[in-house]
């Protein structure tokens, strides 16, 4: 209906502009009217045209209305405010959407974009040195919902996890585990400086001792032992991480190992290629600004000319000891993704990596010519509090609340929904005690309750032997109550909302929509009794309720939240 109206208006505008010398015809864009009394749709085209036509918007609107050929459903139009064209439709003229919703079921709202893309979304990528904390959880929930959201638009989307299983931190991990193993054997140990003090390391140590006797470990050469311990610890941590993710119903298509990238020679090959392309030169980096670095010494080292692609300074790709930097591996990783045929890469990082975006994009552009790739979504910090008191989150201190604990306390649905109630770029104050309250303060229950409530009514109808008729046989013109009209309008908006959320990579919009739709249903529920004497009205209202349940289900599904039929 919306596009039909837009087309009608567009034709009128084109006619209007026939005699006028203009370069381009602005596109007509209809919006749903917000306020009561403004009709069903509103159009601002007259105001848009005001400048180039140099006429008053209200006069232009009058002219447009003179030319336009409306479809039969339009019952009234008016010019309001500064020049809006408000369109009123005949009552319930769009109610047949309910039939489509029920017929399309879980597919309602989905579409197939004209040019589907192969998209790789990399998210979480928590270091395999310990359990995930709440901040990781936010990124995890965002990434997974984003995958689901882009899939509704017909894209081919994959979930990818980049395992940082190389570098110094893995050595530290191995040392920490070894210290705990010796401790468990009753040896007095000095815990390594900067090691991971968390108790989970003790668990890992204990597990390793079961499969690898202490004597055997002791006999091994230092190098060999540390490599083995690192492998085992990483593997066990990844098992924990996968379990944490599974608890949130998140499953990755690929876990990509950084170490593999080094061992396969991909990183060195890449550095060689950069050298061949004259993108690397020997230079001296200036001292970092604003951060006191006591041991800064100017030195000549190989630098990647990222400044040629928009970066602030050139970046080192090889460390003093001759091994590649993390950055080098990361470039190789993104280059690999590109090689695997992804049209688009989306990375979800923590806000503390914000300074890293430009250099990766610069590198990707240098290598592939793609601009602004990857798309990086920076997830701001989660400030975890307990009864208003801040809880420190630090792997190093070993005193963090793990994601697992939170999911156990609050439940996966509540964690997923709550994390998606805010935009990614806003900081999130997440209070453990408040999130544990399973009351109406928790929006997820509000939405799920609406869904369960509909099913209660459907069960009731069945119990009362209300014989259902085909959706297309329902007399939907009976749905004229204010709350019924409002619900239908909300349901009509769902596909557009999905598309918008997908275009902007903003799944949080779905939580807002779900809450509004649930509110719309609760209002309807109180205002209009579904099961009553008028059989035709019962049929129409049951169909409406069913459609609402379907759309709630679809919305929650994109958010990865369950839609219970009973609560």
Partner RNA sequence: GCGCCUGUAGCUCAAUCGGAUAGAGCAACGGACUUCUAAUCCGUAGGUUGCAGGUUCGAUUCCUGCCAGGCGCACCA
Residues 315-344 that bind RNA (CB under 7 A): 316, 319-320, 325-327
Question: Which one of residues 209, 378, 469, 489 is an interface residue with RNA (CB under 7 A)?
Answer: 378
Closer Cβ to RNA, 404 or 413, answer by number: 413
CB of 91 to RNA, least distance (A): 19
Is 161:125 a contact under the CB 8 Å cutoff?
yes
Which residue, 128, 130, 127, is CA-closest to 196? 130
Place of tokens 């306020």: 35
Between 145 and 217, CB nearer to RNA? 145
Among 58, 63, 306, 380, binds RNA (CB under 7 A): 380
Stretch 502-531 residues interacting with RNA (CB under 7 A): 508-509, 512, 515, 519, 522-523, 525-531
By CB under 7 A, is residue 438 in contact with RNA? yes
Residue 163's contacts (CB-CB under 8 Å, 6 or more residues apart) are 125, 128, 234, 238, 255, 256, 257, 258, 259
Number of residues that bind RNA (CB under 7 A): 95
What minimum distance in Å lies between the beta carbon of 217 and RNA? 25
356 is a contact residue toward RNA (CB under 7 A):
yes
Q: Are strands 30-32 and 280-284 parallel, antiparallel or unpaired?
A: unpaired
Q: Which range of residues in 77-85, 107-115, 405-413, 470-478 is near RNA by CB under 7 A?
A: 77-85
Beta-carbon count within 10 A of 206 CB: 12
Nearest approach in angstroms of CB 502 to RNA is 13
Q: Which is nearer to RNA, 51 or 215 (CB)?
A: 51
Distance of closest approach, residue 9 Cβ to RNA, in angstroms: 13
- Chain centre to alpha carbon of residue 360: 21
CB of 131 to RNA, least distance (A): 16
Range in contact with RNA (rule: CB under 7 A) among 65-73, 93-101, 159-167, 241-249: 159-167
- The beta strands (E) that lie in 126-279 are given as 156-163, 254-257
Does residue 488 touch RNA according to CB under 7 A?
A: no
The answer to the question of residue 433 lying near RNA (CB under 7 A) is no
Structure-token pair, residue 56:
């008053």
Q: What angle do CA 50, 54, 56 make, to 5 degrees?
A: 55
Q: Does residue 166 touch RNA according to CB under 7 A? A: yes
Binding mask 451-470 for RNA (x = CB under 7 A): -xx-xxx-xx----------
Nearest CA among 379, 381, 380, 332 for reference residue 360: 332
Contact between 111 and 149 under an 8 Å Cβ cutoff? The reply is no
Q: ∠ at Cα 379 (374, 382), nearest 5°? A: 160
Cβ atoms of 256 and 162 within 8 Å: the answer is yes
- Judged by CB under 7 A, the stretch of 176-184, 245-253, 375-383, 409-417 that binds RNA is 375-383
445 binds RNA (CB under 7 A): yes
Smallest Cα–Cα separation from 62: which of 50, 46, 51?
Answer: 46
Nearer residue to RNA within complex by CB, 84 or 178: 84
CA distance 492 to 556: 17
- Using the minimum distance from each CB to RNA, give the nearer residue, 352 or 473: 352
Question: Site residues for RNA, window 189-218 (CB under 7 A)?
Answer: none
408 binds RNA (CB under 7 A): no
């Amino acid at each position: 209906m919306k596009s039909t109206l837009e087309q009608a208006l567009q034709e009128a505008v084109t006619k209007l502009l026939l005699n006028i010398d203009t370069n381009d015809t602005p596109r007509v864009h209809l919006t749903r009217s917000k306020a009561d009394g403004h009709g069903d749709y509103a159009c601002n085209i007259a105001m848009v045209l005001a400048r180039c036509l140099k006429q008053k918007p209200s006069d232009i609107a009058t002219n447009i209305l003179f030319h336009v050929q409306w479809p039969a459903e339009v019952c009234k139009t008016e010019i309001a405010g500064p020049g809006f064209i408000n369109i009123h439709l005949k009552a319930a003229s769009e109610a047949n959407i309910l039939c489509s919703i029920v017929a399309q079921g879980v597919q309602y709202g989905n579409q197939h974009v004209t040019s589907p893309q192969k998209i790789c979304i990399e998210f979480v990528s928590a270091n395999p040195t310990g359990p995930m904390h709440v901040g990781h959880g936010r990124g995890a929930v965002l990434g997974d919902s984003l995958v689901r959201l882009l899939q509704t638009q017909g894209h081919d989307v994959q979930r990818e996890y980049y395992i940082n299983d190389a570098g110094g931190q893995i050595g530290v991990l191995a040392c920490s585990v070894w210290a705990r193993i010796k401790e468990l054997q009753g040896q007095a140990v000095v815990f390594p400086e900067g090691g991971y003090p968390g108790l989970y390391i003790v668990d890992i140590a204990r597990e390793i001792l079961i499969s690898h006797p202490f004597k055997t470990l002791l006999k091994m050469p230092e190098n060999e032992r540390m490599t083995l311990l690192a492998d085992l610890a990483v593997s066990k941590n990844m098992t924990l991480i996968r379990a944490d993710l599974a608890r949130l119903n998140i499953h990755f298509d690929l876990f990509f190992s950084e170490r593999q990238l080094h061992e396969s020679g991909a990183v060195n090959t890449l550095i060689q290629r950069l050298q061949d392309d004259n993108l690397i030169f020997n230079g001296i980096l200036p001292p970092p600004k604003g951060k006191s670095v006591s041991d800064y010494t100017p030195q000549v080292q190989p630098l990647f000319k990222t400044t040629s692609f928009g970066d602030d300074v050139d970046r080192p790709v090889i460390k003093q000891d001759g091994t590649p930097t993390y950055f080098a591996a990361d470039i190789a990783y993104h280059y690999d993704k590109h090689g695997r045929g992804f049209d688009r890469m989306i990375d979800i990082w923590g806000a503390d990596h914000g300074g890293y975006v430009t250099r990766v994009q610069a590198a990707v552009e240098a290598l592939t010519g793609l601009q602004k790739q990857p798309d990086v979504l920076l997830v701001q910090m989660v400030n975890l509090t307990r009864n208003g008191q801040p809880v420190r989150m630090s792997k190093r201190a070993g005193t963090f609340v793990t994601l697992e604990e939170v999911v156990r306390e609050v439940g996966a649905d509540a964690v997923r929904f709550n994390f998606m109630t805010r935009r990614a770029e806003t900081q999130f104050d997440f209070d453990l005690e408040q999130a544990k309250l399973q009351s109406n303060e928790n929006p997820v229950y509000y939405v799920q309750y609406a869904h369960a409530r509909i099913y209660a009514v459907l069960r009731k109808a069945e119990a009362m032997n209300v014989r259902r008729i085909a959706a297309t046989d329902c007399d939907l013109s009976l749905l004229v109550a204010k709350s019924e009209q409002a619900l239908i309008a909300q349901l009509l908006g769902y596909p557009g909302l999905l598309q918008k959320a997908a275009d902007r990579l903003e799944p949080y919009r779905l939580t807002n929509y779900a809450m509004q739709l649930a509110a719309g249903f609760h209002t309807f529920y109180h205002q209009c009794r579904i099961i009553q004497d008028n059989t035709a009205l019962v049929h129409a209202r049951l169909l409406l309720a069913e459609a609402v349940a379907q759309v709630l289900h679809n919305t929650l599904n994109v958010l990865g939240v369950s839609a219970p039929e009973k609560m």
